[in-house]
Homo-oligomer: A and B are copies of this chain.
Amino acid sequence: MPLTPEQRAEIEDARAETRQTLRATSDGMESHLYRAHEVLDHGLVRVIDYMGDDSAIVQAARVSYGRGTKAVQNDEGLIRYLMRHWHSTPFEMCEIKLHVKLPVFVARQWIRHRTANVNEYSARYSILDREFYIPAPEHLAAQSVQNNQGRGETLEGEEAARVLDWLREDAGRAYDHYEAMLSQDGQQGLARELARMNLPANIYTQWYWKTDLQNLFHFLRLRADPHAQYEIRVYAEAICRIVADWVPAAYRAFEDYRLGGASLSAKALDCVRRMGRGEEVTQETSGMSKGEWREFMAVMEG
C-alpha cells in the first residue's frame, strides 16, 4: 500500500475543489485526476494534469489538412486514418502529466525515452524513504535459457527464499547505514549527495513526468509489450488503462494499429503474398534466417 493517510487526505482535498474552465475536458480523465493507481509493492501512477481530448486531435488535423479532411465522415474515422498513415503531429497536441513512484532500476529504463519533461525527487537535496521493491514470489523468475534479456520459470523453494532474504536484508542494512552516515547526532554527518550512493537499485524514487500523446504511445508500445521487463510493463499497463479513458478513440486506434499490429519485412510480405496465393512456404524458401522465420511464424500464429 503505497499511500499514507496524509497522502490520501491530500488527494481527497485536491479532488474536492472543482473549478470552471473554458478548455476542452475529458470526463474519463477527470475521474482519474490525482487518484493513485497502485503498481508493484510500493509504486503508483497518478494523473496530475492533462491537455486535450479526442476532439483536440481532430481539430489539429483539420487545421493541417483543411478542406481535405471534410471527406472523412466522422472523428473516429479521421483518427484511425491519422494513426494508420503515421500522421503523428495531431497526436502531439494532447499532453499528460503524471506523478510516478517507481524503483530506481525501472526509472533508469524509463528515462531512456528522452522526449519528455521530468522532475525527479533529488537525493542530493533530500532524504529518500525506506521503501524497496521486493518481488512477489510469483515474479521471482529465473534467467531465460533462450533469451539473454528474458525470464524463465519461477524460482522455487529454498532458492526463492534465499533470494528474497538477501534482497530484504541487503536493502535494510544499506538503508540503516545510509541513515547512520547522514546522522548529525554526535558527528558531522555525511553529505546527502554522497550517502545516497550506498542505496540499492530497488529503492523507490518518484517524479513528475510530462509528455505528449504521440510520445506516450511510443513509450506504451515498447513498454506494454510482452517482451518488456515485468516491472516496467505494469506501469505501462496502468497508463494504458488511463489513456483508454482519456482519449477513447485514439486509444482504440492505437490498440488496433500498434499494440495489436506488427511490422512485416519485405521478405515477410513476400511470404504472406505467396501464402495468400495458396503456396506453401518454408523457412528454406522464405529467404529468412531461422530466427526471423521463428518470429514470423509467431506473428502468423497470433
Residues of A bordering B, CB below 8 Å = 14-15, 17-25, 30, 33-34, 48-52, 56, 59-61, 63-69, 71, 77, 80-81, 84, 86, 89-90, 92-93, 95, 97, 99, 103-105, 108, 111-112, 114-115, 117-127, 133, 135, 140-144, 148-153, 155-156, 159, 162-163, 166-167, 170-171, 173-174, 177, 180-182, 184, 187-194, 196-202, 206-208, 210, 212, 222, 229, 255-257, 259-270, 272-273, 275-276, 278, 289, 291-292, 295, 299-302
A201–B202 CB distance below 8 A = no
Q: Which residues of B contact A18 (CB under 8 A)?
A: 20-22
B122–A68 CB distance below 8 A = yes
Among B61, B81, B198, B291, point to the contact of A170 (Cβ < 8 A).
B198
CA distance A170 to B195 in the complex (A): 12
CA distance A265 to B83 in the complex (A): 10
Q: Which residues of B contact A272 (CB under 8 A)?
A: 272, 276, 300
A252 CB to closest chain B CB (Å) equals 10
Q: Which residues of B contact A52 (CB under 8 A)?
A: 49, 97
Chain B minimum-CB-distance residue to A181: B163
A168 CB to closest chain B CB (Å) equals 10
CA distance A135 to B256 in the complex (A): 41
Q: List 19 A-B contacts (CB under 8 A).
A: A19-B24, A63-B208, A64-B119, A65-B125, A65-B148, A69-B125, A80-B292, A114-B115, A150-B191, A152-B191, A155-B188, A159-B188, A170-B170, A170-B173, A198-B202, A200-B200, A257-B263, A261-B266, A275-B276
